[in-house]
Structures are given as C-alpha cells and as structure tokens.
Amino acid sequence: MRFNQSTSIDCGNLILVPYLERHVLKYHEWMKSPELRELTCSESLTVKEEFQMQKSWLEDEDKLTFIVVYKHGVENKKPQVLHEIASHHIDEMIGDVNMFLTEGYEDVEEDQNQICSTYIQAELELMIAKPEFRSKGLGTTIIEAFLYYIEQSGLLESTHIAKYIIRVGSKNLPSLRLFKKEGFQQTKYVACFDQVEMEKSIR
Ligand SMILES: CC(C)(COP(=O)(O)OP(=O)(O)OC[C@H]1O[C@@H](n2cnc3c(N)ncnc32)[C@H](O)[C@@H]1OP(=O)(O)O)[C@@H](O)C(=O)NCCC(=O)NCCS
C-alpha cells in the first residue's frame, strides 16, 4: 500500500518499517526454512518472485506490510507513528507483519428473504522469523502496534474493513494464544489444512 511507504512505527526496541527492496534478500533467505513456511502457510518463491511480491506489497491498495526490526539495548515504549523510514540495519530485521484485504460473505435476512451480503475483511499475518526472538512478548507488542496504526490512521474508514481474520495451524499455540488475548474468537476449523480461523469484528 502506498499509504505507508514513508511511515514507521517506533516502539523503542521494535520498529516497524515499510518492506523495501533492500529487505528482499534477507526475507527470501528466511523463507527457505520449511518450518517457517509451514507455520506461516507460505509457498516457496524464487528471488525474482520475492522482488515482485515486495513491489506488490508496497504498491497494491489491498495490502499493508511492515518489516520488523529489533534494536538491542533500547527500552520498549508506546507506539509512535513517524512520517519517515526509521534508520535501521538489515541485520536488525527479525520478522514482518501484514494485512491484506479480501471480500467476505454472510447470509443475512432482508424482508424475510435470505440474501448474501458481502463485506471487507483484513487478513492478518505475523512472523518472527528468528526463533530466539519468539516467546518473549514481542509478537504481542508487534500486533498491538500494527492494529494501533491501522486504527489511528483512518485506514479502517477509508477501506471499510468490517473484521480482522487470521488463519493459523491448530497446533500453533503461541499464535492462537496471542490472537485470543487480542480479542479474536475461533469461527471455523478447516480439517483438510488442520487450520483454525479466528476473527474479530470491528463494527
Ligand atoms: C506466533 C508468533 C508471532 C507469536 O509471537 P511471540 O512473540 O512468540 O508470542 P508472545 O511471546 O507475544 O506470546 C503470545 C502468547 O503465546 C504464549 N506463548 C508464547 N510462546 C509459547 C510457546 N512456545 N508455547 C505455548 N504458548 C506460548 C504466551 O504465553 C502468550 O500468551 P499469554 O500472554 O496468554 O501468556 C511467533 O511465535 C512466530 O512468529 N512464530 C513463527 C511464525 C508463526 O507461527 N506465525 C503465525 C502465523 S499466523
């Protein structure tokens, strides 16, 4: 999304920056891990495809993504939105957080008839690629900063998002616990992928 092309979210020790070309090789390296691809339900991409993906994440109006960088020796603080790309080193990258917009469907009753109504949903994805940074509360901080940004930026209104959803493997306890804590509720279990869907309504 062009909307966040020059935006960072500063949480002190964690900073969220737009996904830029210079992040692609490191990102591609991470995604060679079969474990990480399975946890994030991602496909293996070539470097060329990853560069195309980066361009699409940066430009498409239905996608919003940030790379997460970790600053050693800095205190955590409340998220602060900066209108610039915060300075960082590639070696400080630890993961990413993103959302993409899709259309959801529901049956509603209108004049005693069942009709199919559509709405916009934002599917969230969160990944701390480096295992040594997991289970330390950072995932919680990242998702809270990301949702804070979406909610204070006017994006909810301009994109008409009605709900957030996530899809996660049924055994991914850290992810399930994190999103439950953030107010998400399970709505579906998809047996063929052993995947749980959780959602949180916005209005
Ligand atoms: C899922 C992920 C983002 C969670 O972030 P995290 O920083 O590890 O999680 P947090 O430390 O913020 O903890 C979140 C919750 O999970 C719990 N948790 C953390 N690690 C856990 C573990 N190994 N086993 C069980 N529960 C765990 C925490 O106790 C916390 O719950 P609580 O606040 O109710 O106590 C991170 O582990 C990750 O990136 N994993 C690999 C990629 C992935 O699975 N992405 C999710 C795809 S939807």
Expressed in angstroms and rounded, the spacing between residue 176 Cα and the centre of ligand 1 is 8
Q: Are 8 and 86 in contact (CB under 8 A)?
A: yes
**Using one digit for the tens of pLDDT, what is the confidence trace for 44-78?**
999 999 999 999 999 999 999 999 999 999 999 99
Which segments of the chain are extended strands (E)?
Answer: 8-10, 14-18, 63-70, 80-82, 93-110, 113-128, 161-169, 185-190, 195-201
Q: Are 121 and 101 in contact (CB under 8 A)?
A: yes
Cα 29 to the chain's mean position, in Å? 19
Residue 178's pLDDT is 98
**Using one digit for the tens of pLDDT, what is the confidence trace for 6-23?**
999 999 999 999 999 999
Question: Structure tokens of 98?
Answer: 């993103």
- Statement: residue 122 has pLDDT above 80: yes
Percent share of the chain, pLDDT over 70: 100
Residue 106's pLDDT is 86
Residue 121's pLDDT is 96
DSSP 7: -
Residue 107's pLDDT is 86
Round the average pLDDT of the chain to a whole number and report it: 95
The CA-to-CA distance between both ends of the chain, in Å, stands at 23
Residue 170's pLDDT is 96
Residue 127's pLDDT is 98
- Statement: residue 108 has pLDDT above 90: no
Domains along the chain with CATH numbers: 2-201 (3.40.630.30)
Q: How many CA atoms lie within 13 A of 163 on its CB side?
A: 17
- Statement: residue 203 has pLDDT above 80: no
- Statement: residue 134 has pLDDT above 90: yes
Expressed in angstroms and rounded, the spacing between residue 179 Cα and the centre of ligand 1 is 9
> What is the position in ligand 1's atom list of the atom closest to the CA of 166?
48
Residue 138, ligand 1, Cβ within 6 A: yes
Testing ligand 1's pocket by substitution, the residue of 30, 167, 171, 178 carrying the most ligand atoms inside 8 A of its CB is 178
- Statement: residue 89 has pLDDT above 80: yes
> What is the position in ligand 1's atom list of the atom closest to the CA of 174?
16
